[in-house]
Structure 1
């Protein structure tokens, strides 16, 4: 069982694109890199790199990635090997390394869908059509739309300093529609209010 949470040597964006391009599934970059791809430049250092896949397409992803990578499901603060034939129904986070001792290279985040809609796991009334959750750079790199990525950051049980910094970086370039969607979604998740709402 691994506990080396901080042992990272993340792949570059180009590495991830090269790896996932040949995989016939829906995928995109997420996390801080997704925001920077929307921004058009790197705004801060990134200690890791995240890739989103659809939960329903996890078997194809496992078969492809497990040929050259070791996959660990992260659940309740514990890393356990993801084994062939195991369908992850609740796990949302898979950490990936080249072998059992090497640093973490990237994370795979599994998202839920229903009837061609992305479903926000923390508040299932929040959803979007699948064809509206991913944007692409001019070079064709897919990334999670900024308003959705910011919801994941702001909707976490622990909003980190870097998450607030990311919001401040993105606010000047978010469209009115993106801000309205994020505001409405935060209201749905946090009925008592959320500190980010006033900023928008």
Structure 2
């Protein structure tokens, strides 16, 4: 069986909360959108956790007994050796507790510059790290919905459109403007963002 065919049994967000203490991290992906809207929208095949690239080794140490596999472009998995600094083109890491266990967490690395988060897709898109975080009532940090939608806007799939439609009515004018500016050029979401 190929590594990419190995089954996923994603941790629940509450389980992730106990893993990365002391590091800036956020629940990302569809779960972040669901936290923003306050309800379940669809099934999830994995769980995404966003970390700043500068914290990659601290995260690796936090789960030192786990297997970490870097997704080298264009999508080949390889073991991520302890202490290895991943190159800038590697931003996805699959994690599991052991070689016989299913995949449990997908870690995504994002860029920063001092106190600013910087989009890995467009370094002109940036914000203070402190503005990325929203928090659930139980204290789980999740990525601000407009930033998550920015990532989903690159090549929207059906599930991304579901997420956009659900969270759009909750976005403030400031969040809508930020997202429209971050998306930039022609995009089907821009008209709805200006409504």
Please, what TM-score do these two structures have when normalized by structure 1? 0.90
Q: How many aligned residue pairs are there? A: 191
Describe the superposition over 1:146-170 as per-residue Cα deviations: whole angstroms up to 9, x where unpaired.
0000000002xx3211011110111
Cα separation, 2, equivalents of 1:60 and 1:196? 37
- Tell me which stretches of 4 or more aligned residues in structure 1 moved more than 4 Å: none
Cα separation, 2, equivalents of 1:18 and 1:46? 20
- SS in structure 1 at match of 2:4: coil
Q: Which moved more, 1:144-153 or 1:42-51?
A: 42-51
Matching residue of 2:108: 109
CA shift in 2, pair 1:5/1:198, >3 Å:
farther
- Cα deviation for residue 19 of structure 1 reads 2.2
Cα RMSD (Å): 1.5
Please, what TM-score do these two structures have when normalized by structure 2? 0.93
In structure 2, the gaps of 5 or more residues are none
Given that 2:19 and 2:62 are in contact with CA atoms closer than 8 Å, whether structure 1 keeps it comes out as: no
Equivalences for 1:115-134 in 2 at 5 Å? 115-134=114-133
- Cα deviation for residue 5 of structure 1 reads 4.5
- Cα deviation for residue 6 of structure 1 reads 6.4
Cα separation, 1, equivalents of 2:178 and 2:126? 11
Matching residue of 1:194: 187
In structure 1, the gaps of 5 or more residues are none
Given that 1:49 and 1:107 are in contact with CA atoms closer than 8 Å, whether structure 2 keeps it comes out as: yes
Cα separation, 1, equivalents of 2:91 and 2:132? 17
